[in-house]
Amino acid sequence: MYKKVLFFLFLIFISSNSSAKETDKAYFGGGCFWCMEESFEKAEGVIEVISGYSGGTTENPTYKEVTYGDTGHFEVVEIVYDKSLTNYKKLLEIFWINIDPFDAKGQFCDKGYSYRSVAFYKTNDEKIEIEESIKEIEKKFNKEVVTYHREFDKFYKAEKYHQNYYQENFVNYLLYKKGCGREKKLDNIWKN
């Protein structure tokens, strides 16, 4: 009887571990993190998207410090994804079609350093994927891509009211997005 119980517990252990997802994280900044949240949450394999700050030197920065101060941080999203359903390269493709890679002053109506576009890499393979995609875009458009690419260091989660803003404040979000001309500009860049 004891052997049967051990065997049964072993089977339960094996089945519970085999269903565990292997996840990873990616970090991108494309101006307003509310818009980036929306873009990535719709992607297959994405488990969660969190708004926050990265790339600078100030620890635990606030929105006000990032936007109006000298923290060196960008508004970014942390993307938690299931590696069996998507990968960094696919997420990078989503990133590009949701930004203006030629705007050196920010993104859409949001201007300033913290709103510049940036792709972070954690591995040399991710760095190579970013660099190769930049070359492809520059060749296609015959323009210089000004999007930063930086080695990832730390991510700081933004204030609670920024999380899922596009869902929880839907009307305000749509007014902001339309007012910024984000979709129109993206269509002009990527659909022509």
Q: Which residues are catalytic?
A: 32
The set of residues, in sequence order, having a beta carbon less than 8 Å from that of 145 and lying 6+ positions away, is 101, 102, 134, 137, 138
Reduced to 3 states (helix: H, G, I; strand: E, B; else coil), residue 94 is helix
Burial of 187 (0-12, 13-18, 19+ CB in 10 A): exposed
Which structure tokens are listed for 172?
A: 């305000």
Closest residue by Cα to residue 56 from 134, 161, 148: 148
Could you tell me where the beta strands, DSSP code E, fall in 122-182?
148-151, 155-157
